[in-house]
A and B are shown apart, each in its own frame.
Chain A
Amino acid sequence: MTLLKVEGLTKRFGGLVAVNKVDFEISQGSIVGIIGPNGAGKTTLFNLISGALPPTGGKIIFDGTDITGWRPYNIARQGVTRTFQTTALFEELPSWVNLVIGYRMRTKTGLWDSILRTPRFRRERKATTQKVAEVMGFTGLGEYAQMTAGDLPQEAQKRLAIGVALMGEPKLLLLDEPTGGVGLGETEDIIALINKIRDKGITVCVIEHKMRMIMNLVDQIVALNFGVKIAGGPPDMVCEDPSVIEAYLGECIA
């Protein structure tokens, strides 16, 4: 079943076409990798899907709903959450508060609930506490719960960012270089985490530069160069594609 369908997606910045008529599909429960050299438009593609940037043309259909040009918060509420390349966190707040904020969109506590401490306030606070504990355990962040997010080690920050995105109960998780700037052994931990996320039934789309890692992790690859999709399909096939080798890989490593 197709979860996300992108048709002729285009983004122009003045004269520069950052993403040019890109088509691809992500099926439910899979892990899709997006590869390409620097400036290929990978992050722009994520920004378009998550609503951070409005597309110039094309269509994004998520779970049967056309979400083209929606605001980021509405897309998140629809079930698409993301992480950022430069790890974005609520840095001066403790890790657990970061997670609380991630769950906020699934709660409805308003002004009167807060002031009067209504039953809904108490119910939702309990649900949030449970969810925070669950995601803390899932991402293995328990020991860092009370620490300020900005003081966490790089690798823990990456996992926390994934945790924040997971709190919103997404159907599709967009990960922008989840292992960027992380050591080798710790990369393994994050790959294990991504596999665990898929096993929970959440579809994952990941931008990555570490080819060896992506070959083992993903089911499908989309290769971009200068904003154009140059190849797509299973990893071994994309890896042998001459245009991908020329643009990005140099030689095949799988």
Chain B
Amino acid sequence: MAKYGKAAFVLLIIGVAVLLGLPQLELISQATLNIFTLGIIWSIATMSLNLVLGYTGQASLAHGAFLGIGAYTFGIMAQRVGMNFWLSLLIACLMTAILGFLVGLPSLRSKGPYFAIVTLCFNVIIFKVFENWTWLSGGYQGQKVPRPSFLTERWARYYFALVMLILVILVVRQIVKSLLGSSFIAIRSNENLAESVGIKSFSTKLLSLTVSCFIVGLAGSLLALQNGYLDYTITNYLYSFYLLIYLLIGGVASLAGPVVGTFGLYFLLWQLEKTMGEFSEFRWLMFGLLLIVVIIYFPMGIVGGAKRFWEWIKKKYYSRRGEVYG
């Protein structure tokens, strides 16, 4: 298992290296660069959901709300309060983490699908609040989000998002490959057994959700920064489902899964929209079909399927050489 982890990690590093070179090659247009940047930002958000759903087994459907809260905290701090960029970013992440903690306090007492429903309700409430409380959200017009001077160029924002993604992947990796991570995984696997071997499930789940919210707050801030403006639709609960779908298709409980799923789907959907012209609405249909196929045949997503394929290849190879596989 450790071996696969390493192989996937190496692939991930290669992927990141390719992404690093992209703007330099001048092969892609400014519009494509924008899509790539957004793909990276959504990957960060999916990564955060992976921590709480993939590793800890708690299906939060409030990540759309947390994304919006992160974005708005950043936007309000930077634009209306006029705070320094880095400080705004930090406060946005902290604010989202604190709210995640407060939401987790009551909601994590429910389990499984009930937790999903409670968090979805929270997201709907937040959406309605932002829709109607125009003083806070700016309503339909939204508000502007200022960019610091070093992030005015598209490629600069691309690199900035990429560095943040790498940081997030590294942090999540350190967490899940530790004794703390083993607590998370134990709760996902069998919560009753975990409690009977002394794991404090409630506080562990709360920690997982809080860290996850910190990361999704970062994603929200980056999204606001990239778009340059903000309106209430960023808190939409549909985003919670998007993140869920990206994660399921990419592969839960793996480090590469969220990035592969998010990037792949985000880019695919954008390409389809471009090429299909007036039939572009049909892309959602294909999206649905893809989801069904992946869930039936690759329950661990694309990355899980790739691991199984790799396993199969290795078995073939060893049996051909007449060696015992193991």
Interface residues of A (CB under 8 A from B): 50, 52, 71-73, 76-77, 81-82, 84, 88-94, 97, 100-102, 104-107, 109-111, 113-117, 121, 124-125, 128, 146, 164-165, 167-168
Contacts and interface: CB of A to CB of B under 8 A. Distances in A.
4 tightest Cβ-Cβ pairs between the two chains A and B: A105-B198, A76-B198, A114-B178, A90-B189
A90 B186 contact: yes
A81 to B, nearest CB: 6
B168 to A, nearest CB: 11
B196 A52 contact: yes
Contacts of A168: 197-198
B201 interface: yes
Contacts of A165: 197
Given A89-B193, A100-B182, A111-B207, 17 more contacts: A73-B198, A88-B190, A88-B196, A90-B186, A90-B193, A93-B185, A97-B182, A100-B179, A101-B186, A105-B198, A106-B198, A107-B179, A111-B211, A114-B174, A115-B175, A125-B178, A164-B193
B184 to A, nearest CB: 10
Interface of B: 1, 171, 174-175, 178-183, 185-186, 189-190, 192-201, 207, 211
Contact of A104 (B175, B192, B197, B211): B197
Given A109-B178, A125-B179, A93 B199 contact: no
B196 A104 contact: no
Contacts of B180: 109-111, 113-114
A190 to B, nearest CB: 19
B195 A71 contact: yes
Given A88-B190, A90-B185, A128-B179, A115 B197 contact: no
A104 B185 CA distance: 12
A107 B186 CA distance: 15
A101 B195 contact: no
Contacts of A116: 174
B196 A89 contact: no
Most buried by A among B180, B193, B194: B193
A150 to B, nearest CB: 10
Contacts of A93: 185, 189
B325 to A, nearest CB: 13
B257 to A, nearest CB: 16
B254 to A, nearest CB: 13
Contacts of B179: 100, 104, 107, 109, 114, 121, 124-125, 128
